[in-house]
Amino acid sequence: MTSPFVLGFAGYSGSGKTTLLTKLIARLSARGLRIGIIKHTHHEFDIDHPGKDSYELRHAGAARIVVGSSRRWALINERPAPVEPNLAEMLAILGEDSLDLILVEGFRHEKFPKIEVHRPALKRDLLAATDASIIAIATDVAALDGPFLPRLALNDIAGIETFVIKMIQTGNK
């Protein structure tokens, strides 16, 4: 089996990365693609809550817990010290078996193929100006100064889907 194509979506908070990915994943999944997601967050998060068995076991001192049911499973891993994850570590945890595509939200400082989600209204610089691993810019404006890269209309999900499919088919990694 070949490794799945890994494609990132990077941009500043509020640019619409998650909204775009939600719509794109629905379309790509409808094509029959099996998609894995890696999302980086700078915020603390918890997938279990007080009163749940997994929460109580973790707070009792368990370093790693797998919770499973007939429909899904989740791995909770406690780090001994706060360390930002890197993309290679997250890819290894996600695994590649039976996936056609891995979409990554965040990890904007790492070097791998990414589409920048850019809204000039946020008054932030283009990441593509300093990141050569950005392969296209999805934006909500018609004209945009910056590096010569393919421009994708942020609200044209079908067009972005076509771009992603072409990337998978040509193997532009």
Q: What are 123-161's pLDDT values in tens digits?
A: 999 999 999 999 999 999 887 777 789 999 999 999 999
- What would the two tokens of residue 16 be? 């619409």
Can you say how many angstroms the Cα of residue 70 is from the centroid of all Cα atoms in its chain? 26
Stretch 113-117: mean pLDDT: 96
- Of 28-42, 43-57, 111-125, 144-158, the range with the lowest mean pLDDT is 43-57
Stretch 60-65: mean pLDDT: 86
Nearest to 17 by CA among 130, 140, 101, 146: 140
**Tens digit of pLDDT for each residue in 89-111?**
989 888 877 899 999 998 988 99
Domain residue ranges of the chain, discontinuous segments joined by +? 5-40+85-170, 46-83
- The structure tokens 């695994």 sit at 95
- Residue 90 class from Cβ within 10 Å (0-12 exposed, 13-18 middle, 19+ buried)? middle
- Give the pLDDT confidence score for residue 44 in this predicted structure: 67
Hey, is 138 helix, strand or coil?
strand
Q: What is the Cα–Cα distance from 58 to 161, expressed in whole angstroms?
A: 40
Is this prediction's pTM over 0.95?
no
Q: What is the Cα–Cα distance from 65 to 105, expressed in whole angstroms?
A: 25
- What would the two tokens of residue 148 be? 């010569």
- Residues 76 and 65: beta-carbon distance below 8 Å: yes
Sequence letter at residue 7: L
Nearest to 3 by CA among 88, 102, 86: 102
CATH 3.90.1820.10 fits 5-40+85-170, yes or no: no
- Give the pLDDT confidence score for residue 40 in this predicted structure: 86
Q: What is the Cα–Cα distance from 22 to 11, expressed in whole angstroms?
A: 15
Q: What is the Cα–Cα distance from 169 to 128, expressed in whole angstroms?
A: 24
For 76, phi then psi, to 5°, come to -115, 120
Nearest to 101 by CA among 163, 16, 153, 159: 163
